[in-house]
Amino acid sequence: MSLEKELAAGIAQMGLEVTPEQQVKLLDYLALLQKWNGVYNLTAIRQPEQMVSNHLLDSLAVLPYLWPRRWLDVGCGGGLPGIVLAVMRPEWSFTLLDSNSKKIGFIQQAAIELDLQNVEVRCERVEQWQVQQKFDGIISRAFAEVADFVRLSRHLLKDDGRWAAMKGAPEQELARLPDGIKVEKVITLQVPKLKAARSLVVLGVEK
């Protein structure tokens, strides 16, 4: 099956609305990821078909559960899920943050080539980074354990903002959450052709 068909089939299975233009952009991003992977070591996955399920569909799976409008992707690596989400939600803004300058260089190039006007890129350590305008949502896919994720990024979240942690089976990690953090929901995700358990944990600050 071609990558186009693989992606389209996965999107249909998840019941998502993705325009043909967005699908082209997602595949263009995948091509860039593949092209630069050898140089920058962006992902351990080398097979394009596997990249469709493990990267594109995995990132798309969280889309129905996110909220507007300003998002931070912490430890974004090669741009996941931030680039995929930015393609899908052009009316929201996404800041992609990582301390690896090579990966940030790649993301910057990808955002230019994909003409993503809603992406900002930062090469910083999250715990040291300060902002004037805080975020409605902070997401991470492969950054750290949930407790560390919320602790290190708490100063960047709006008072009414929430975190979205993309995880496998999160139960043990959730038992180690710091005081004052509440689990709003744990959503089990079904990602086509992905054999591993996937879930999205939404967390907030207790009032």
Q: Known binding site: residues?
A: 75, 80, 126-127, 141
DSSP SS3 for 95: strand
- Report CA torsion sign: 23, 106, 103, 95: negative
Which residues, including other chains, have CB under 8 Å from residue 23's CB and lie 6 or more apart? Answer: 4, 7, 8, 11
Answer yes or no: are the C-beta atoms of 141 and 61 closer than 8 Å: no
The per-residue b/e assignment along 116-155, b for 16 or more CB within 10 angstroms, e otherwise, is bebbebbbeebeebeeeeebbbbbbbebbbbebbbebbbe
Determine what percent of the chain falls in helix, strand and coil, rounding each to the nearest 5: 40, 25, 35
Answer yes or no: are the C-beta atoms of 181 and 151 closer than 8 Å: no
Task: Report d(CA 173, CA 110) in Å as an integer.
Answer: 33
Answer yes or no: are the C-beta atoms of 26 and 84 closer than 8 Å: yes
Known binding-site residues for S-adenosyl-L-methionine equal: 75, 80, 126-127, 141
